[in-house]
A and B are shown apart, each in its own frame.
Chain A
């Protein structure tokens, strides 16, 4: 299953004044493709993800999902910037949450959740509450929760944004590994160019507000990838290409002229 956006726009009204967040966003994503969206901050990346997730309605254009829909399976799951774990649920209950909402029996959902908790190395923390975990651990729980729910489309909203540089690297590799074993369509929003290149089949570069897609850049790095993939000779040119597109947009969004 894949989906396509046709001229999607979103306008918010704040204090009586209209604010165009997105304008004419069109692109298509194939099944099992990993796509990253990079853009300057405030360009509407999160708004775009929320539209794909069905949490927001676009004010223009439409989102078309194609392919067969499996019943009893989530169309999409979103991993939030700030993890979005339930403070009153243990790690196990949080990871199993999606399955619980789908009505999967407790023993089955807990068995599946345990499998993923082990994969992200948190088996010892199964009974812990989110406030007892570090920020990096919480984000791992959030990622495990999304994969356990097994949605058709996985949406990642800057999942590593709040992490320190080293934790970030570890989690990037973890995502690559999990995704290798559980292939699915992923749309990943980030402002980290290297991260986008490392993880994706394709990078979509967005402009500043109102956000629109400037260019789609295929990433031809062979898979399976790991952090060493970034040492390949073609990476430099790719980074440069993305940065050249972004530079002017970032300057504008900072209010710098020229």
Chain B
């Protein structure tokens, strides 16, 4: 937009990029100063340097890396366990009206339920170990992926199916050449949603039912009233979210070369 105006697009764009960073620095400085002059209560809002110190200490002691690893493992396990079957079922539901009519009522019933609500039930059935936690995460990642891959198949231009039929493609060939690549962008969107949900539910599960993971670290911060630990946990989780998002963006560019220049 700004490039169309005559007043130098280059500096303007650089300014736009630097502005959020500048605002963040300004915000942190104000915060730090506010705590220093006792304008802001340090118990509720510990100074940024205190939070950074807690982060560094926790890293040195190996506590934070351990919690981070536990969380990441659960996020990954939940994703694999939930998204892989969801992708298959979603593709099948998108492709075949019959499969869709069988599973649609089930999905409509189960999807709106808050997945964390099934954790106690899962703990009764699967025990209080890792399995019940990972399954709870998996059930949450299942639905975004399912709905996205189903929508991915259903938005395929019907002409492409005609092309496949007309050139004598088998069902397998149609799947590989038409259905999978055509729904890939939507499936990646599904993965993006599932990763977010996975992180969210993992943290929630760890808050209530775990001694390891970033969620439990935050809970520990609450129990011991060490708010800087609480903040440290939140900062790490926020960084995780951003990292996932950046990695996926890269993956999308690499996996969907035919859509790059849109």
- Find out whether the CB atom of B166 lies under 8 angstroms from the CB atom of A53: yes
Q: Tell which of A82, A102, A132 touches B168, judged by Cβ atoms closer than 8 Å.
A: A102
- Find out whether the CB atom of B162 lies under 8 angstroms from the CB atom of A55: yes
Residue numbers in B under 8 Å from A98 (CB-CB) = 167-168
Q: Which of A70-93 contact B (CB under 8 A)?
A: 74, 76-78, 80, 82, 84, 86-89
Interface 1/0 per residue, B148-170 and A, CB below 8 Å: 00000000000110111111111
> Known interface pairs A97-B177, A131-B258. Does A74 touch B159 (Cβ–Cβ under 8 Å)?
no
B176, closest chain A residue (CB): A100
Q: B178: CB under 8 A from chain A?
A: yes
* Complex CA distance for A130 and B162, rounded to whole angstroms: 18
Residue numbers in B under 8 Å from A78 (CB-CB) = 162, 166
* Complex CA distance for A131 and B165, rounded to whole angstroms: 23
Q: Which of B195-236 contact A (CB under 8 A)?
A: none
Residue numbers in A under 8 Å from B169 (CB-CB) = 101
Q: How far is the CB of A110 from chain B (nearest CB, A)?
A: 16
* Complex CA distance for A149 and B167, rounded to whole angstroms: 8
Q: A129: CB under 8 A from chain B?
A: yes
Residue numbers in B under 8 Å from A50 (CB-CB) = 162
* Complex CA distance for A189 and B168, rounded to whole angstroms: 22
* Complex CA distance for A84 and B178, rounded to whole angstroms: 12
- Find out whether the CB atom of A88 lies under 8 angstroms from the CB atom of B162: no
Interface 1/0 per residue, B227-262 and A, CB below 8 Å: 000000000000000000000000000001111011
Which of A53, A55, A87, A101 has its CB near the most chain B CB atoms (within 10 A)?
A101
Residue numbers in B under 8 Å from A77 (CB-CB) = 166-167
- Find out whether the CB atom of B167 lies under 8 angstroms from the CB atom of A86: no
Q: How far is the CB of B164 from chain A (nearest CB, A)?
A: 8
Residue numbers in B under 8 Å from A86 (CB-CB) = 160, 163, 177-178, 181
How many residues does chain B have at the interface if contact means C-beta atoms less than 8 Å apart?
A: 23
- Find out whether the CB atom of B261 lies under 8 angstroms from the CB atom of A131: yes
Q: B173: CB under 8 A from chain A?
A: yes
B163, closest chain A residue (CB): A84
B159, closest chain A residue (CB): A84
Q: Tell which of B162, B165, B173, B262 touches A80, judged by Cβ atoms closer than 8 Å.
A: B162
Q: B182: CB under 8 A from chain A?
A: yes
- Find out whether the CB atom of A88 lies under 8 angstroms from the CB atom of B168: no
What class of interface size applies to chain A in its complex with B? 20 to 34
> Known interface pairs A74-B168, A101-B168, A129-B257. Does A82 touch B177 (Cβ–Cβ under 8 Å)?
no
Q: How far is the CB of A239 from chain B (nearest CB, A)?
A: 32
Q: How far is the CB of B208 from chain A (nearest CB, A)?
A: 44
* Complex CA distance for A50 and B158, rounded to whole angstroms: 14
Residue numbers in B under 8 Å from A74 (CB-CB) = 167-168
Q: Tell which of B166, B181, B261 touches A88, judged by Cβ atoms closer than 8 Å.
A: B181
Q: Which of A123-148 contact B (CB under 8 A)?
A: 129-132
Q: How far is the CB of A43 from chain B (nearest CB, A)?
A: 20
Q: How far is the CB of A146 from chain B (nearest CB, A)?
A: 9
Residue numbers in A under 8 Å from B262 (CB-CB) = 131
> Known interface pairs A80-B159, A97-B177, A101-B173. Does A87 touch B258 (Cβ–Cβ under 8 Å)?
yes
* Complex CA distance for A87 and B159, rounded to whole angstroms: 12
B178, closest chain A residue (CB): A86
Residue numbers in A under 8 Å from B258 (CB-CB) = 87-88, 129-131
- Find out whether the CB atom of A132 lies under 8 angstroms from the CB atom of B261: yes
* Complex CA distance for A88 and B261, rounded to whole angstroms: 13
* Complex CA distance for A131 and B259, rounded to whole angstroms: 8
Q: How far is the CB of A127 from chain B (nearest CB, A)?
A: 11
Q: Tell which of A55, A100, A129, A130 touches B165, judged by Cβ atoms closer than 8 Å.
A: A55
* Complex CA distance for A89 and B160, rounded to whole angstroms: 12
Q: How far is the CB of A145 from chain B (nearest CB, A)?
A: 8
* Complex CA distance for A97 and B176, rounded to whole angstroms: 12
Residue numbers in B under 8 Å from A100 (CB-CB) = 173, 177
Residue numbers in A under 8 Å from B256 (CB-CB) = 88
Residue numbers in A under 8 Å from B170 (CB-CB) = 101
- Find out whether the CB atom of A76 lies under 8 angstroms from the CB atom of B182: no
* Complex CA distance for A98 and B170, rounded to whole angstroms: 12
Residue numbers in A under 8 Å from B163 (CB-CB) = 80, 84, 86, 97
- Find out whether the CB atom of A88 lies under 8 angstroms from the CB atom of B167: no
Q: Could you tell me which A residues sit within 8 Å of B by CB distance?
A: 50, 53-55, 74, 76-78, 80, 82, 84, 86-89, 97-98, 100-102, 129-132, 149
Q: Could you tell me which B residues sit within 8 Å of A by CB distance?
A: 159-160, 162-170, 173, 177-178, 181-182, 184, 256-259, 261-262
A-B contact pairs, 13 of them (CB 8 A): A54-B166, A55-B166, A78-B166, A80-B163, A88-B184, A97-B163, A97-B167, A97-B177, A100-B173, A101-B177, A129-B258, A131-B262, A132-B261
